Structure 1
Amino acid sequence: MVTLPQTRIEQIKKRFEMLEAQLHDEAFSGDYGRLAAEYAELKNIVALLQALESVRKEQADLAELLADNNEDSAMRAYAQAEVPQLAAEAEELEKRLQILLLPKDAADERNVLLEIRAGTGGSEAALFAGDLFRMYEHYAAAKGWKVELVSASEGEVGGYKEIIAAVAGRGAFARLKFESGVHRVQRVPETEGSGRIHTSAATVAVLPEAEEIDIEIRPEDIRIDTMRASGAGGQHVNTTDSAVRITHIPTGIMVVQAEKSQHQNRARAMQVLRSRLYDMERQQAESARSSERKSQVGSGDRSERIRTYNFPQGRVTDHRINLTLYRLDKVLEGELDEIIEPLITDHQTALLAEMGEGG
């Protein structure tokens, strides 16, 4: 039998009742949207709790009936047949509740800063970085998320040496956070006459978008340099010094923005810097929290090879969960849920095991 945290369940019930009362109070003047979202989340948990209580009552009634030796034999046989079915129902509800009661990642509902950089493989790596960006663009479109380009450095024959984009939408970080790491591609380049397969790589970093209240950046901790912007092939060259480079002195993190507006460059560079600092803090906190265990999924280790895209075989392999799909074309078109869902499930299983060890 699954063990559920009764104290937390009682807290959830009380919180749900309080939210329900507040949201139905015409005089309520608080943040309605935020409370409504929390209410909707808790409503799912409360509905499962009510279903579980109903099943447990049925189980108690059956146990009472079976304990009564004066009961009709046909009725006792019917009750006996119901016992395993109700037990399975209760176990399924308990498992679903256990998942919903797992500690939430505070960043899950945040927007995302998506960074993709070409790694080993030269021009082929830049082309692959472009493929990955389009894959995430298609996935975001399917989810109804908005993608806004922050900065891009194009490859010599296409693709990107580096591209950064903001992805805005409900639960964006929750679904994309397991994409951080090294993505490897195996394919025959168009320029390869002998048909030899080349291996290239690109690094993906998925950062939860930070707000000003999350990270305090003191003016004395940053150095801002402006310089003349110049793009590939002379594009976007401005007559004024519009490119902005911001260096965070304590960490050495450097962000460069080189679009047309210096004011916009400064704002976007600060946005990227803030998110990188916030992500660094999260990584350090996670590392300290899980120093005694190593969670492959969700570790966010940018140097870890997480996935291989093999074109000759039409195969995608996620090395963290030993998942292989022969649907490379569909995956690159943005059909990522077949990979992301098992990654989330694996992460939840690891959390449940960790809670079990802690309990």
Structure 2
Amino acid sequence: MLTKTQSCSIFCRRFYNQKSVDLSDPSIRKYLNYLIVENETLVAKEDKSSAEVKRLREIKPVVDIVAQSNSFKSLRANKEDKGDEKVKEMIKQETRIHQTRDQELHRRLQCTLLEPCLIDSGVLLQLTARKGEQATQFAEILYQLYTTYAGYKNWDVDRVSLDKSSVLGINKASMLISGLGALQLMSFEAGIHEKIPNASETDDAQSSHVHVAVFSQPNDVEWNIAPSEMVIDTGIPSSPDHFTAYTKYTGVRITHIPTGIVVRCSEEDTCVRNEEIAKQTLRTILFHKMLVEESLNSNTEGKSLDCSKKLEKIRTYDFCEQVVMEHRGDASARYNLEGFMQGKDYLESLQDNLLREQRYQALMADIDAVLKKDKTDNIGKNQDKVQEIFAFF
């Protein structure tokens, strides 16, 4: 399994050539100078809030690379100022090495600015077939796609519920997915997925639709539930509508008293494990409910990456033409259907492209926000530092 650092390095190498920023642009210089000043301010501060500690971790890699380039330039300038002919000859011989180092620092700074840093996170993913037998079959196809993809990404998966259709396919399914980048990547799956059937599959030429909802899982600090707020019923039959000699009584039902929300899980073989999954599912639902209420009260668009209410069509799976068409980002993004449904590098590439584009837009927004700010004394006093730092770029 790849470490976080290895994952980020591979991501950076793969997508470095797709988008870049002009490091010689005055606005970029001003933005990076702002980060330098901000870093110095945060480092000097003794009592930092959790938000400030997080911010320091975010900007420090950029500031460190800029500091390396400045140190490297000063070292080379000092050698040149000595006037020693032997040293000058050595410098000439080292020119290529210096140029390679300059290019590497340039590449590293580009990557650090544009590279989305994946975090350990989790989501509650729900699939709901719209109408018809074709939709339930499509829902099952997507369910298998995401299960396979989670395994490919080394993510942990816990099935919460699986409501199978009386004919074929799935009416509704939900699962907990957790691991490095799970929230950042799987949030792009939220929305309406459309299937265009193959003419040989059915006489009905109409397309079918599945709605995918994604909720971010909270950690223990963000949201926890007091035991007194829950009623936990155990020994629930695994198949309440179809009792047989093989029916297991390991299901768990949790009722949240303040809200009346009920969560049920009977997919695992033990009551203990089903209870763990049900509790995490309930915490996720309540956390999302709280975020929605906060966003309504503050008239904002929300404070998380939750994408549960996305109802626009995001992707079309054309079984007739054997292609998958992504409707966000690059309008011409098309993938081979067979390769895409394997749940491996095709879906990974699509999500990574969307994540990188999201990061690029966020960076542009940050730069724009800095440029709109009134010039502070700190930024004004450090303008000379900008010219010195970016002499290489």
TM-score, reference length from structure 2: 0.63
The CA distance in 1 between the partners of 2:306 and 2:233, in whole Å, is 35
Q: Which position in structure 2 is the counterpart of 1:318?
A: 326
2:177 corresponds to 1:167: yes
2:220 corresponds to 1:205: no
2:100 corresponds to 1:92: no
Give the match's secondary structure for 2:223: coil
Deviations 1:55-105 (A, max 9, x none): 33454567789999999x9999999999998776554333223246x7x79
Which of 66, 69, 77 does residue 55 from structure 1 map onto? 69
Q: Which position in structure 2 is the counterpart of 1:276?
A: 285
Give the match's secondary structure for 2:316: strand
The CA distance in 2 between the partners of 1:289 and 1:85, in whole Å, is 51
Q: Which position in structure 1 is the counterpart of 2:377?
A: none
Give the match's secondary structure for 2:134: helix
Q: Is the 8 A contact 1:145 1:168 kept in 2?
A: yes
Which of 15, 19, 36 does residue 6 from structure 1 map onto? 36
Alpha-carbon distance, 1:354 to partner: 1.9
Q: Which position in structure 1 is the counterpart of 2:129?
A: 118
The CA distance in 1 between the partners of 2:248 and 2:71, in whole Å, is 77
Q: What amino acid does structure 1 have at the position aligned with 2:136?
A: A
Q: Is the 8 A contact 2:254 2:279 kept in 1?
A: no
The CA distance in 1 between the partners of 2:101 and 2:298, in whole Å, is 39
Which of 309, 315, 320 does residue 307 from structure 1 map onto? 315
Q: Which position in structure 2 is the counterpart of 1:333?
A: 342
Alpha-carbon distance, 1:156 to partner: 2.4
2:368 corresponds to 1:357: yes
2:337 corresponds to 1:346: no
Q: Which position in structure 2 is the counterpart of 1:109?
A: 120
Alpha-carbon distance, 1:268 to partner: 3.6
Q: Which position in structure 2 is the counterpart of 1:244?
A: 253
- 5+ long unaligned stretches in structure 1: 16-37
The CA distance in 1 between the partners of 2:321 and 2:181, in whole Å, is 33
Alpha-carbon distance, 1:141 to partner: 1.4
Q: Is the 8 A contact 2:325 2:334 kept in 1?
A: yes
Aligned CA RMSD, in angstroms, stands at 4.9
Q: Which position in structure 2 is the counterpart of 1:130?
A: 140
- Greater RCO between the two (CA within 8 Å, min separation 6)? 2
Alpha-carbon distance, 1:130 to partner: 0.9
Change (3 A) 1:124 1:139: same
The CA distance in 1 between the partners of 2:73 and 2:155, in whole Å, is 45
Q: Is the 8 A contact 2:185 2:351 kept in 1?
A: yes
Count the aligned residue pairs: 324
Q: Is the 8 A contact 1:109 1:174 kept in 2?
A: no
TM-score, reference length from structure 1: 0.68
Alpha-carbon distance, 1:8 to partner: 5.1
The CA distance in 1 between the partners of 2:109 and 2:249, in whole Å, is 63
Q: Is the 8 A contact 2:121 2:217 kept in 1?
A: yes
Matches within 5 A, 1:205-244: 205-217=213-225, 230-231=239-240, 234=243, 244=253
Q: Is the 8 A contact 1:315 1:324 kept in 2?
A: no
Give the match's secondary structure for 1:246: strand
Percent of residue pairs bearing the same amino acid type: 21
Q: What amino acid does structure 1 have at the position aligned with 2:328?
A: R
